[in-house]
């Protein structure tokens, strides 16, 4: 179980990170952004694609070990069987072409130096996010249901919010901090665009999260009477702290940065940029904690599912949260 949770967390981190860094490249950075800043963001985007590729294999590894009882000697044979005969495998096959498209778009953008081809990555990443939703709790009772699509939007919104924080911390702010006082004006434009993106993504995230919580808990009492609900409480508490930091950024730090760009001393602007970078880094670290809680929830039985005969008679697919009728693979 700890390995399954760790690999699920790795998969979610990599997925949110690649979505977020792509959002930074396309929506946060202005078209006329510094060339070094764009190249750095592109390199980080490539790194997240590497992580996404490794995570996809890791989840398949974890899923196979769950189904074959932890037998390593027949692992690769059982992987092929898992891909061929299980619902999880049929869904996971779609990751391969989606990853190929994402890699091709990134390589094309890296060689050409433009960002137009990066837009091709969006449907590829959306397809990968859908495989995550289809093999999670929302897909337990049917493919392409409302619950699946809501969870899919939830993942995309989380990527645009939390993932963009990763992109800012890894690619954007390090460059802005090296620029010194000259980073104030471009930093203001970037921070404004990040704040707008985060606000929109957060609104979608809250709406989808409420729907997921209601459908999976089956009642508000589950928030304090079940282990699933208590884990969800921890996750929500961390999210509220992140929202508070984001609100402080929008209503306190952004006006200070705007004032510095309007004529305040360069050192003052540099201090505000550093303060913004620290706040975004803190949000990023809290985002990792949220992802850890999410991975734990994926491998727990939601109270609403535990009450249904279907859920009680099936075996949990811990690698993706999907319930399957057959617990083991032939060895």
d(Cα 86, Cα 84) in Å, to the nearest integer?
A: 6
- 216 in a structural domain: yes
- Using one digit for the tens of pLDDT, what is the confidence trace for 148-186? 999 999 999 999 999 999 999 999 999 998 887 788 889
Report how many domains make up the chain.
1
- pTM of the entire predicted model: 0.87
- 326 in a structural domain: no
Q: Is pLDDT of 313 > 70?
A: no
- 320 in a structural domain: no
- 108 in a structural domain: yes
- 252 in a structural domain: yes
Indicate the SS3 state at residue 252: helix
Mean pLDDT, residues 50-70 taken together: 89
d(Cα 232, Cα 234) in Å, to the nearest integer?
A: 5
Give the pLDDT band of residue 328 (cuts 50, 70, 90). very low
- 325 in a structural domain: no
- The more confident residue out of 222 and 147 is 147
Give the pLDDT band of residue 32 (cuts 50, 70, 90). confident
d(Cα 13, Cα 58) in Å, to the nearest integer?
A: 13
CB atoms within 10 A of CB 219: 13
Contact, 310 vs 288, CB < 8 A? no
CB atoms within 10 A of CB 58: 20
Tokens of 33: 């952004």
Which one, of 170, 202, 195, lies nearest residue 290 by Cα? 202
- Using one digit for the tens of pLDDT, what is the confidence trace for 249-300? 999 999 988 888 876 555 577 888 999 999 999 999 999 999 999 988 888 8
- 32 in a structural domain: yes
Mean pLDDT, residues 98-119 taken together: 89
- 311 in a structural domain: no
Which residue range(s) make up the domain with 99? 2-306
- Using one digit for the tens of pLDDT, what is the confidence trace for 186-203? 999 999 999 999 999 999
């Amino acid at each position: 179980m700890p390995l399954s949770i760790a690999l699920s967390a790795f998969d979610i981190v990599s997925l949110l990170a690649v979505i977020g860094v792509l959002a930074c490249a396309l929506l946060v950075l202005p078209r006329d952004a510094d060339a070094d800043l764009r190249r750095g963001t592109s390199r980080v985007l490539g790194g997240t694609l590497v992580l996404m590729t490794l995570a996809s294999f890791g989840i398949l590894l974890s899923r196979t070990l769950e189904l074959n009882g932890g037998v390593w000697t027949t692992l690769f044979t059982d992987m092929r069987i898992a891909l061929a005969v299980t619902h999880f495998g049929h869904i996971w096959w779609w990751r391969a072409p989606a990853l190929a498209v994402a890699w091709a778009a990134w390589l094309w953008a890296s060689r050409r130096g433009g960002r137009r081809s990066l837009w091709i990555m969006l449907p590829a990443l959306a397809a990968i996010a859908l495989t995550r939703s289809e093999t999670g709790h929302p897909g337990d009772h049917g493919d392409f249901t409302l619950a699946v699509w809501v969870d899919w939007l939830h993942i995309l919104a989380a990527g645009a919010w939390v993932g963009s924080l990763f992109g800012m911390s890894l690619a954007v702010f390090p460059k802005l901090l090296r620029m010194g006082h000259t980073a104030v004006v471009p930093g203001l434009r970037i921070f404004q665009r990040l704040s707008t993106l985060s606000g929109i993504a957060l609104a979608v995230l809250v709406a989808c999260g409420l729907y997921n919580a209601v459908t999976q808990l089956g009642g508000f009492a589950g928030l304090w009477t079940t282990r699933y609900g208590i884990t969800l409480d921890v996750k929500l508490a961390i999210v509220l702290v992140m929202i508070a930091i984001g609100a402080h950024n929008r209503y306190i730090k952004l006006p200070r940065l705007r004032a510095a760009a309007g004529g305040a001393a360069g050192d003052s602007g540099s201090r505000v940029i550093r303060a913004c970078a620290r706040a975004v880094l803190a949000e990023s670290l809290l985002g990792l904690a949220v992802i850890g809680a999410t991975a734990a929830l994926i491998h727990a039985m939601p109270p609403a599912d535990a009450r249904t005969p279907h859920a009680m008679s099936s075996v949990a697919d811990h690698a993706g949260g999907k319930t399957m009728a057959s617990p083991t693979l032939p060895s």
